[in-house]
Structure 1
Amino acid sequence: MGANSKIEWTTHTFNPWWGCTKVSEACKHCYAEAWAKRVGQKVWGPRPERRLLSDTHWRQPLKWNRDAAKSNERPRVFCASMADVFEDRDELIPHRDRLFDLIEATPNLDWLLLTKRPQNVRRLARWDTEWPDNVWLGTTVELQKRAEELLPYIEAVPAKVRFISAEPLLGPLEIEPWLETTIDWVITGGESGPKARPASPKWFTDLHAQCMRTETAFHFKQWGDWAPGDGINLLTKSKPAESVVDDGTPMFRVGKKTAGRRLNGELHDGLPKVVRSA
């Protein structure tokens, strides 16, 4: 985490703090919680304090901003992979203000604020009707009920780019009306990790079709640990676990690396078009 992120849809990651509380089905097998525990940080749940980062850490985006000014490129900064910027805790107020100061001080970076709590955004964000050009706001919608619950909150915020992360996708999504009016970018993918749940290929292909019809940028991040049974299982040395998903496709647990990130044989790395203020 940090400069040169391995996450396919961002350039860098930045965490203003570590820690969170689970709020949805997508949180069930949270990779960030597992990582924090692995390095000895007890920061998950409503009671533990959040882990705060050093001033050296906070200076990193200032360097990225200077480098971007020289290169004429616009790095994307995913904030926060180990937390939720809009978790409503009193002790986070000064650190969130510090983050907003940093965002405003780095106009050459596009900040991707992905939250599972979009209902808190208008109350906790510094900006109201005028959001900075370099702030993209997203929320996680892993199931239809979450999309219907959360997307109205995203619609109410005039961020330059509004996006969703349908990862891990845990069911079919019918969100075309939102793509026509509100959502500029869709990121999706399957679950990885020891307890990963297989996703139906049809969930992804249907979502891709909705994006194509509405000319919405589409990014397929990964299959996750499970891949469709189209011969990919032959690449493994031992017989992998098998699960048949909703559309009848046999899915094999071959691991994230072997499963890859091609959907219908293609890479999908769409990015939203951004029209910046004059």
Structure 2
Amino acid sequence: MTTKIEWTDETWNPVTGCTKISDGCTHCYAATFAERWRGTPGHHFETGFDITLRPERLRLPMTWMKPRRIFLDSMSDLFHQDIPDIYIAQVFAVMALTPRHTYQVLTKRHGRMKALLSRPTFWHLVADQGRAHFTGCQEDWLAVGAMLGGKPLLNVWLGVSVEDQKWADLRIPALLETPAAVRFLSCEPLLGPVDLKRAVITMGSERGHGLTASYVHASGCCERRFHGIDWVIVGGESGPGARPMHPQWARSLRDQCEWAHVPFFLKQWGVHAPEDHGHDCGAVALIDTQGHSWNGREALAPPDMVRMRRVGKKAAGSLLDGRHHTAIPAAAR
């Protein structure tokens, strides 16, 4: 399905539906859209946003001959607990058999992603499901052989959603410990400051030692692509009830990425834009760098308080300090 998401070419939804798991899910656009149709006989979303497997869509990327960047499950989360391992294996088999495409897999279920993709038995399941269901296609089992040998698929990028520091500290370490050719973060909606340089990976005491590592590694680090974060996407929230994104949160992530030579992509401000961008109409939201609201208490606000105007997604745009930021990583090497 053609998409308006700026950092991809297509969306592919072999599953639809999800359940809310963290603060970033509060105003989920996909749930809002799907639930509008719950109970409508014959509609694609007749069951609303309940988890629904769509096996008739599994072969869709095989019909796309031109190489594309494909965002997997924009209307779901592939690692949701209600999606069977065997079905996830079928999805990975399709990705293995279409190396011309680049797949962007984003999840909030970091624990299941790490556990599943770190298991050799899962990759054997991928191979078995590929042979059972996708024979007769142009098969590239060299990719599957690489997986069975412990190497990640080069055309599959894995990402986690990071809306604030709490979820950065939980999801990023799991992502770094998951086999992947390219790892990325979707900091959208960005709801608070995120420090990617802080060392927070601490191995369990049963290992007999502590291990710390920075999320983002500076250029020149040995095999940096496989040890850190390769891409950071940032965006504010849109839709009813949207919460504003403080400009300093976006600037900080931009600066961290510049320091580490990591591609940075600012997708959107959301429906709120900084007042100093020239917007002088729309409801005002006053927030500080910790995300606290100062509406009705402006005289008491700290110096880091900013005035954000609700001007709509289109008017807010994506300029940060006068520039668009649209960097995307090169294909995995």
The TM-score normalised by the length of structure 1 is 0.87
Displacement of 1:274: 3.3
Question: 263, 272, 275: which is aligned to 2:329?
Answer: 272
Equivalent residue, structure 2, for 1:183? 229
Secondary structure of the 2:104 match is: strand
> Distance between the aligned counterparts of 2:88 and 2:277, measured in 1?
48
Secondary structure of the 1:145 match is: helix
Which one-letter code corresponds to 1:242 in the other structure?
V
Equivalent residue, structure 2, for 1:24? 22
Secondary structure of the 2:8 match is: coil
The answer to whether the 8 Å contact 1:167/1:190 transfers is yes
Equivalent residue, structure 1, for 2:110? 118
> Distance between the aligned counterparts of 1:113 and 1:88, measured in 2?
16
Question: 68, 71, 75: which is aligned to 1:78?
Answer: 71
Residue 106, structure 1, aligned to residue 94, structure 2: no
Secondary structure of the 1:209 match is: helix
Equivalent residue, structure 2, for 1:159? 180
Structure 1, residues 76-99: CA drift from partner, whole Å, max 9, x if none? 11111111111122x533322221
The answer to whether the 8 Å contact 2:155/2:331 transfers is no
Displacement of 1:223: 0.2
Equivalent residue, structure 2, for 1:138? 159
Displacement of 1:43: 4.3
Equivalent residue, structure 2, for 1:233? 279
> Distance between the aligned counterparts of 1:23 and 1:134, measured in 2?
28
Equivalent residue, structure 2, for 1:53? 54
Equivalent residue, structure 1, for 2:305? 248
Give unmatched runs, 5+ long, in structure 1: 69-74
Displacement of 1:124: 2.6
Secondary structure of the 1:153 match is: helix
Larger Rg: 2
Structure 1, residues 136-180: CA drift from partner, whole Å, max 9, x if none? 000001110111111111111121100100000000011122111
The answer to whether the 8 Å contact 2:14/2:55 transfers is no
Which one-letter code corresponds to 2:215 in the other structure?
W
Equivalent residue, structure 1, for 2:135? none
Give unmatched runs, 5+ long, in structure 2: 39-44, 124-146, 198-213, 218-226, 289-303
Structure 1, residues 193-237: CA drift from partner, whole Å, max 9, x if none? 011001100000011000000101100000000000025424xxx
Distance 1:54 1:196, change over 3 A: same
Displacement of 1:248: 1.8
> Distance between the aligned counterparts of 1:61 and 1:231, measured in 2?
41
The answer to whether the 8 Å contact 1:20/1:43 transfers is no
> Distance between the aligned counterparts of 1:67 and 1:52, measured in 2?
26
Secondary structure of the 1:111 match is: strand
Kindly report the root-mean-square deviation, in angstroms, between the aligned alpha carbons of the 2 structures: 1.6
The answer to whether the 8 Å contact 2:237/2:271 transfers is yes
Which one-letter code corresponds to 1:269 in the other structure?
T
> Distance between the aligned counterparts of 1:78 and 1:155, measured in 2?
20
Secondary structure of the 2:58 match is: helix
Percentage of matched positions with identical amino acids: 41
Residue 211, structure 1, aligned to residue 257, structure 2: yes
Distance 1:154 1:231, change over 3 A: closer
Which one-letter code corresponds to 1:192 in the other structure?
S
The answer to whether the 8 Å contact 2:80/2:109 transfers is yes
Which one-letter code corresponds to 2:52 in the other structure?
R
> Distance between the aligned counterparts of 1:79 and 1:275, measured in 2?
18
Which one-letter code corresponds to 1:244 in the other structure?
L
The TM-score normalised by the length of structure 2 is 0.73
